Amino acid sequence: MQTPLALSTPALLFSAISLLFLAYTNRFLVLAQLIRQLHGNKHTQETRALVLRQIENLRLRIKLTKFMQALGVFSFFLCAASMYFLFHGYAWLGEKIFGASLLLLLASLAISFWEIMISTKAIELELKDLEG
């Protein structure tokens, strides 16, 4: 026999999702700073190829950051909705919505992991360029 989902269970995600948003926002700010630095620098013919690869990389990372933030927002929204339904006695609906919230959170984390892998690839490009 399954025990009904307690109202406090989705509430546990509130702090985790808030911290996740802080991390996602910091990533976005770092990307914005990198783009501004690239824009402000003067580029020679020799550095142009590297800059073009960086721009391609940054575009993908911005898209991924947008998707992971959107999934995080929807996860947070569904988490709050599940608490609402659990509070009003609609346990079955609250549990299903909470499950959907967890799936969206997992998707957001998976995209975050993908973005981290891409950012380390970008750092490798910079290191190769420094090595000559």
Residue 129 and residue 49: Cα distance in Å, rounded?
A: 11
Q: What is the pLDDT along the chain (132 residues), one digit of tens a residue?
A: 345 567 567 777 767 777 777 787 787 777 778 777 776 666 666 667 777 777 888 889 889 999 999 998 999 899 899 989 988 889 899 999 999 999 999 999 999 999 888 888 777 877 776 776
Residue 132 and residue 53: Cα distance in Å, rounded?
A: 16
pLDDT of residue 78: 94
Residue 59 and residue 66: Cα distance in Å, rounded?
A: 11
